[in-house]
Amino acid sequence: MEKALQQYAIIVAGGTGSRMQHSLPKQFIELAGRPILMHTIERFHTYNADIRIVVVLPEDQLQVWRNLCKQHKFPVFHMAVPGGKTRFGSVKSGLATVHGEALVAVHDGVRPFVSYATIKAAFESAAEAGAAVVAVSPKDSIRELTEGGSQAVPRTRYKLVQTPQCFKASLLRAAYEQPESEHFTDDASVVEQLGAGIALVEGSYSNIKITTPEDLLLAEVLVKQFDPAS
């Protein structure tokens, strides 16, 4: 029987709190009494206690994070590393801690409601296809901007991308050896530049990214009823 690959979670948390209109970086804002980032880390640890978790933070936030972990007696072992000036640089920094062939999930630090089922499906799809991205269908109608104004487009042809985005480590390393480009909007776009295909995994509308005050209000409702196993 082929040995299962080691799983990693690179959790990128580079927010400042500007869109949140908050003095704290958004990943440190409390949700149900603890920083949002702790909820996110716990989601992956509870899914797989043997997963290796790497948290990527701006260098000037590392000590703040260490202090928060002590204050809240946060028990989950993880490695915290300084990120780069861009998300591309931050993922590359986290990827440097991954050893050998593995399965790597890259996840937003402020998506604390990802379910175990979603994480599992993303890892399994990446193990088979090499690259897998969690996404949901748009609920609203979509219009494309044109030179003359805009035009309706069929929303069935589009997906809204979430995280985690999972890859075989060798593929992700090769992708991040490329020069950074402005059209790299996420990890899938970096990998796609190599010509690799991207498998889509069905996500969840509760897997929100908390970036605005409205998101935080919704998160306060979700945290009371969220079933991580669903």
pLDDT for 75-87, tens place per residue? 999 999 999 999 9
Identify which of 7, 179, 176, 188 has the alpha carbon closest to the alpha carbon of residue 96: 176
In percent, the amount of the chain with pLDDT more than 90 equals 91
How far is Cα 218 from Cα 53, in angstroms, rounded to an integer?
Answer: 26
Sequence ranges of the domains in the chain: 7-225
What 3-state class would DSSP assign to 103?
strand
**Does domain 7-225 sit in CATH 3.90.550.10?**
yes
Confidence (pLDDT) at 37? 98
Confidence (pLDDT) at 22? 63
Q: Spell out the residues 6+ positions from residue 77 whose beta carbon is closer than 8 angstroms to its own.
A: 53
How far is Cα 90 from Cα 98, in angstroms, rounded to an integer?
Answer: 14
pLDDT above 80: residue 26: yes
Give, as one character, the DSSP assignment of residue 51: P
The average pLDDT across 175-204 equals 97
Identify which of 62, 41, 61 has the alpha carbon closest to the alpha carbon of residue 52: 41
Confidence (pLDDT) at 172? 98
Confidence (pLDDT) at 3? 77
pLDDT tens across 103-156, in order?
Answer: 999 999 999 999 999 999 999 999 999 999 999 999 999 999 999 999 999 999
How far is Cα 196 from Cα 153, in angstroms, rounded to an integer?
Answer: 26
* 174 phi/psi in degrees, rounded to 5: -60, -40
The average pLDDT across 149-177 equals 97
Confidence (pLDDT) at 51? 98
Please give the model's pTM, rounded to 2 decimal places: 0.95
CA–chain centroid gap for 23, Å, is: 23
Confidence (pLDDT) at 230? 72
Confidence (pLDDT) at 16? 59
Confidence (pLDDT) at 23? 74
Q: Spell out the residues 6+ positions from residue 205 whose beta carbon is closer than 8 angstroms to its own.
A: 136, 139
Q: What does the mean pLDDT of the chain come to?
A: 94
User: Where residue 226 falls among pLDDT bands split at 50, 70, 90?
Assistant: confident
pLDDT, greater one: 3 or 66:
66
In the chain, where does DSSP find H-type helix?
36-47, 62-71, 87-95, 116-129, 169-176, 187-192, 213-225
Q: Spell out the residues 6+ positions from residue 102 whose beta carbon is closer than 8 angstroms to its own.
A: 5, 6, 7, 8, 168, 169
